[in-house]
Structure 1
Amino acid sequence: MATGMPNWLKQRAFLTPERTALIFENRTWTFAKVYEEAAKRTAALYKRGFSKGDRIGLLIRNTPEAVVLIHAMQQLGASAILLNSRLTAGELVWQLKDAEAAAMIYDPAHEGIAKDIQAELPCIESVQLSGEEMPVIREEFSLEDTCSIMYTSGTTGKPKGVRQTYGNHWWSAAGSAFNLGVSERDCWICSVPLFHISGYSILMRSVIYGVPIRLHERFNEDEINAVLKQGEGTIMSVVAATLSRLLRSSEGSYHENFRGMLLGGGPAPKPILEECAERGIPVFQTYGMTETSSQIATLSPEYSLTKLGSAGKPLFPCQLRIAAEGGEAPYKEGEILVKGPNVTVGYLNREEANKEAFVGGWFHTGDIGYVDEEGFLFVLDRRSDLIISGGENIYPAEVESVLLDHPAVIEAGVTGVTNEKWGQVPAAFIVEKEPVEEEELRRFCQSRLAKYKCPAYFIKVEGLPRNASNKLLRRELRNQFERDTF
């Protein structure tokens, strides 16, 4: 029997209609107003012939209209396919076909690529919404229904559509609240894309908790630092690259209202964590992915300094273990396996991938890590990014952390490149803060790392390849090295 609960936005608008839901630039919306606007959008969708169960692609920016549209999809009962606007038309066509989308909705900024998509896929209806009609608003959500579909970045083979249910998003929000708490003063800063789980989950927490989000169309460190200094935001989701930019463009700590940075997107360089500790900026390192509907492990506030570098313990409804050779034991490295009600029900139309990913009820993440004697998780790297040199494992994140400790290095990315003698050796891509000689970097690494971990190559670049969430794309570094395009 399906588990139902009241329609989130409708219930929130009923319970706290005048509470602020959304802040964008100099405008604010209450939950009642967001619900009113979402009802109009739902009516427009209904008028176009869309109904519960349809899969609809969304090609959107971080705007109030996008927030309303996402909520409207839920009112109707359609599944939102969140499309990454950085992809090419061909890549988006592939995802829309794979998901068997009924239509694609886009905002004016994406009109050009939308036309390219429709030229390749004329059976897909491209829609810019307008008009009103009596909406059909759902009274309840079934926690088993698919709420959203997000495609993975496709590090191996074609991207896979991750199905996220209402239950997944509900338990993700609940697990986060059990750990970090919810304050009536909370305001979550959202400068990450709404089409990524990092941004989408903030929107879901907002309506479930009844707290506002301060939406930014894009990340701008000066704007966000000003907001944090003025006490207008309490929590913010970041990755190491964006946190580093915030630190570089500001001094000291933030307003006392600020509760902390939720730091995800892979292992965090220790120099960044140490600088935050020195400046009194709380950082809660977290571990999660599209398949876990955001966080699945997060460091609790009381351990933010004593367990520096750890992603914490599993959230209350979740479980985690390490698949290590010879069995699990403290500090033994292996693949991270997770289980919980926020874990995806599976990949869309990927029977074989689901069999490989889910074994005995546990989801295989493909990430490498270990737990200490107290059960705190330490994430080492993606298994696909692991460098094996002469039989020794080298974790790029460890080498990057050392390089970032050098005062002349502002960004660092490390990847494995082919070597006849050792199989692979590390190559380091460096963005300089000030000029530095390769030999100086080599000596610096040799003083802190085992010889086999030290980069064989140092390549100076203007910037590092990152995705829309600012995660480092190490496979692109490897491709650049092989093509010699740096």
Structure 2
Amino acid sequence: MQNWLLQRAYLTPERQALQFEGRTYTWYTLVEQAKRRAGQLITAGITPHSRIALLSPNSDELVITIYAGMLLQCELVMCNCRLSATEIQAQLQDAEVTQVIATSEQQHKVASNVILLEEVQQKEVRIVDMATEWQEQNTLSIMYTSGTTGSPKGVRQTYGNHLSSALSASLNVGMSPEDVWLCTMPLFHVSGFSILMRAVIYGNEVLLYERFDTAEVVHQIITGKATHMSVVAYTLAQILTQLEQQNLDVPPSFKLMLAGGGTIPERYLLRAQQANIRIAQTYGMTETCSQTATLPPQDALRKLGSTGKPLFFNAMRIEGTTEPFIQGEICVKGPHVTPAYIGKFATRNTMQDGWLHTGDIGYFDDEGYLYVVDRRADLIISGGENIYPAEIEQVLLGHAMVLEAGVCGIEDERWGSVPAAFIVVTTSYRQEEVEAYCKAHLASYKCPKHWFVVSQLPRNASNKIMRHQLRELLT
């Protein structure tokens, strides 16, 4: 395939490409900046085709560095800025990266081989011979996602995976070159990173923010600047509340909100309908480069709880059945599916008979619409973030005061769900010490928000914790 960035700058050099904190870039200027950054990365010691990690919040400089890495055909390990130093270091070791490019605020999370992004920006620019063609089977990005046991897995995402995902989404959403995608999703998540990839392929503009800001998002929507946006239930609720409180009208220029991270409540859909906002609910995962299935806005209320049908290039089935309304494991196939994991999971076969077994439980109705019953059994979805109980339990058990630990999700009005810890403790137990220990080893959103000291945990005959029974203890 043609080098996407060189091709985009050649085809539409004067078209707007990116806006961040008042700074704007056309596709020509953005790609020229990426070329310069590629030369600076070479000066900083980055080797073409090497595996490097990026640790930075959203910014135009991060976008330029991502595109520069693509021009050098590096494999980009996108690190989650919200993780603790312990979590980051474990992923860097597993990925065996050669260098880490981090901002000064994130530098303390990296033990070695770190290059400050601010210093890279001041480096000498070397001339780099840019490849005019890319191989679709080559790895573009690597993102870590926890498995059902809580162990992080490094997911390879190839150029072909991203291309297939972008084309499927375009056929589904109906993007045009004049569209502007408002991005508040972190670029280290596939939801945010895929927006950048689609922008290159579609040639549309990205209106980028470091973090979600309700007032700013609403302003960009009602003034007609933004046409599309990706949200989770929490951010959608914030937007709707401000629109209602200020009695603001959403113009027809705003076309669609793509909603992921869990089912959108009916009351939100009704409010969105009143506000003239079209919602398309999606099902996807890191292993599928974002969307696999999407529910059209016109079906949002008719098919409550559904995530729609597979996108054009994709196929889905329920393991063990072809009958409607029978639950089973959701399996996915298509050119958007990762070819393999890296690191300690590299030998794990991602495909069985050509199908990715997601670990999620769901069913199809009699019209072929997918319903996800349970996201990886014990998964906690908090504000769109995936949290796995086993990972938190492992940290808790690392403290001397905790003898046993079980974690489950508790419904939360603001975040949808938050972690709750059930622990068996020693007589010297002090909660403030255990909480401080968690904060040092876990991202803040993973730390338990509710604590319950119990005499024993519910276990089965194999002594495995039955997490679904933890919720029953609350009553």
Scaled by the length of structure 2, the TM-score of the pair is 0.78
Q: Which residue pairs with 1:80 in the alignment?
A: 76
Query: CA deviation digits over 1:287-331, x for unaligned, max 9?
Result: 10111000011123443443343211101000001125xx23111
User: Which of 203, 213, 218 in structure 1 is aligned with 2:211?
Assistant: 218
Q: 1:91: how far off?
A: 1.4
C-alpha distance in 2 between matches for 1:165 and 1:343 = 9
Asked whether the equivalents of residues 272 and 278 of structure 2 are also in contact (C-alpha less than 8 Å), the reply is: yes
C-alpha distance in 2 between matches for 1:301 and 1:277 = 10
C-alpha distance in 1 between matches for 2:297 and 2:68 = 35
Q: Which residue pairs with 1:334 in the alignment?
A: 328
User: Which of 316, 319, 322 in structure 2 is aligned with 1:320?
Assistant: 316
Structure 1 308/97 Cα, relative in aligned 2: closer, same or farther at 3 Å?
Answer: same
Q: 1:351: how far off?
A: 5.1
Which letter does structure 2 place at the counterpart of 1:177?
Answer: S
Q: Percent identity, aligned pairs only?
A: 43
Q: 1:427: how far off?
A: 7.4
User: Which of 188, 193, 214 in structure 1 is aligned with 2:181?
Assistant: 188
Which letter does structure 1 place at the counterpart of 2:311?
Answer: L
Structure 1 164/132 Cα, relative in aligned 2: closer, same or farther at 3 Å?
Answer: same
C-alpha distance in 2 between matches for 1:157 and 1:232 = 40
1:244 aligned counterpart, secondary structure: helix
- Which 10-residue stretch deviates more, 76-85 or 148-157? 148-157
User: Which of 29, 43, 50 in structure 2 is aligned with 1:33?
Assistant: 29
C-alpha distance in 1 between matches for 2:19 and 2:454 = 45
Query: CA deviation digits over 1:381-427, x for unaligned, max 9?
Result: 213228xxxxxxxxx99xx9xxxxxxxxxxxx9x9xxxxxxxx9997
User: Which of 15, 18, 31 in structure 2 is aligned with 1:19?
Assistant: 15
Q: Which residue pairs with 2:270 in the alignment?
A: 274
Asked whether the equivalents of residues 6 and 139 of structure 1 are also in contact (C-alpha less than 8 Å), the reply is: yes
C-alpha distance in 2 between matches for 1:270 and 1:103 = 46
- 1:161 aligned onto 2:151: no
2:128 aligned counterpart, secondary structure: coil
Q: 1:352: how far off?
A: 7.2
C-alpha distance in 1 between matches for 2:414 and 2:226 = 31
Which letter does structure 1 place at the counterpart of 2:332?
Answer: V
Structure 1 375/311 Cα, relative in aligned 2: closer, same or farther at 3 Å?
Answer: same
- 1:126 aligned onto 2:120: no
- 1:369 aligned onto 2:358: no
Structure 1 272/63 Cα, relative in aligned 2: closer, same or farther at 3 Å?
Answer: same
User: Which of 284, 288, 306 in structure 1 is aligned with 2:284?
Assistant: 288
C-alpha distance in 2 between matches for 1:40 and 1:432 = 43
Q: 1:88: how far off?
A: 1.4
Structure 1 234/365 Cα, relative in aligned 2: closer, same or farther at 3 Å?
Answer: same
- Which 10-residue stretch deviates more, 345-354 or 364-373? 345-354
Structure 1 330/64 Cα, relative in aligned 2: closer, same or farther at 3 Å?
Answer: same
Unaligned ranges ≥5, structure 1: 387-395, 401-412, 416-423, 434-464
- 1:55 aligned onto 2:51: yes
Asked whether the equivalents of residues 267 and 381 of structure 1 are also in contact (C-alpha less than 8 Å), the reply is: no
Asked whether the equivalents of residues 262 and 285 of structure 1 are also in contact (C-alpha less than 8 Å), the reply is: yes
Which letter does structure 2 place at the counterpart of 1:342?
Answer: H
Q: 1:16: how far off?
A: 0.2
C-alpha distance in 1 between matches for 2:331 and 2:61 = 37
Query: CA deviation digits over 1:39-59, x for unaligned, max 9?
Result: 011111222342332110101
Structure 1 30/253 Cα, relative in aligned 2: closer, same or farther at 3 Å?
Answer: same
Scaled by the length of structure 1, the TM-score of the pair is 0.77
Asked whether the equivalents of residues 266 and 381 of structure 1 are also in contact (C-alpha less than 8 Å), the reply is: no
1:141 aligned counterpart, secondary structure: coil
Q: 1:361: how far off?
A: 1.1
C-alpha distance in 2 between matches for 1:69 and 1:369 = 39
Asked whether the equivalents of residues 267 and 380 of structure 1 are also in contact (C-alpha less than 8 Å), the reply is: no
C-alpha distance in 1 between matches for 2:346 and 2:51 = 22
Asked whether the equivalents of residues 297 and 311 of structure 1 are also in contact (C-alpha less than 8 Å), the reply is: yes
- 1:383 aligned onto 2:388: no
Q: 1:26: how far off?
A: 2.0
Which letter does structure 1 place at the counterpart of 2:251?
Answer: H
Q: Which residue pairs with 1:461 in the alignment?
A: none
2:152 aligned counterpart, secondary structure: coil
- 1:250 aligned onto 2:276: no
Structure 1 427/362 Cα, relative in aligned 2: closer, same or farther at 3 Å?
Answer: closer
- Counterparts in 2 of 1:143-158, with a 5 A limit? 143-158=136-151
Q: 1:245: how far off?
A: 1.4
C-alpha distance in 2 between matches for 1:471 and 1:206 = 31
User: Which of 59, 64, 71 in structure 1 is aligned with 2:67?
Assistant: 71
Query: CA deviation digits over 1:348-377, x for unaligned, max 9?
Result: 03457733x421111111112111111111
Aligned residues: 403
Structure 1 170/430 Cα, relative in aligned 2: closer, same or farther at 3 Å?
Answer: closer
- How large is the RMSD of aligned CA atoms in angstroms? 3.0
Structure 1 425/13 Cα, relative in aligned 2: closer, same or farther at 3 Å?
Answer: closer
Which letter does structure 1 place at the counterpart of 2:54?
Answer: L
- 1:263 aligned onto 2:259: yes
Structure 1 426/102 Cα, relative in aligned 2: closer, same or farther at 3 Å?
Answer: closer
C-alpha distance in 1 between matches for 2:346 and 2:74 = 26
C-alpha distance in 2 between matches for 1:302 and 1:429 = 29
Asked whether the equivalents of residues 182 and 229 of structure 2 are also in contact (C-alpha less than 8 Å), the reply is: yes
Q: 1:227: how far off?
A: 0.7
Q: Which residue pairs with 2:352 in the alignment?
A: 359
1:317 aligned counterpart, secondary structure: coil
Structure 1 183/306 Cα, relative in aligned 2: closer, same or farther at 3 Å?
Answer: farther
Structure 1 75/109 Cα, relative in aligned 2: closer, same or farther at 3 Å?
Answer: same
Asked whether the equivalents of residues 161 and 289 of structure 2 are also in contact (C-alpha less than 8 Å), the reply is: yes
Asked whether the equivalents of residues 229 and 255 of structure 1 are also in contact (C-alpha less than 8 Å), the reply is: yes
C-alpha distance in 2 between matches for 1:253 and 1:198 = 27
Structure 1 432/133 Cα, relative in aligned 2: closer, same or farther at 3 Å?
Answer: closer
C-alpha distance in 1 between matches for 2:159 and 2:191 = 16
Q: 1:94: how far off?
A: 1.1
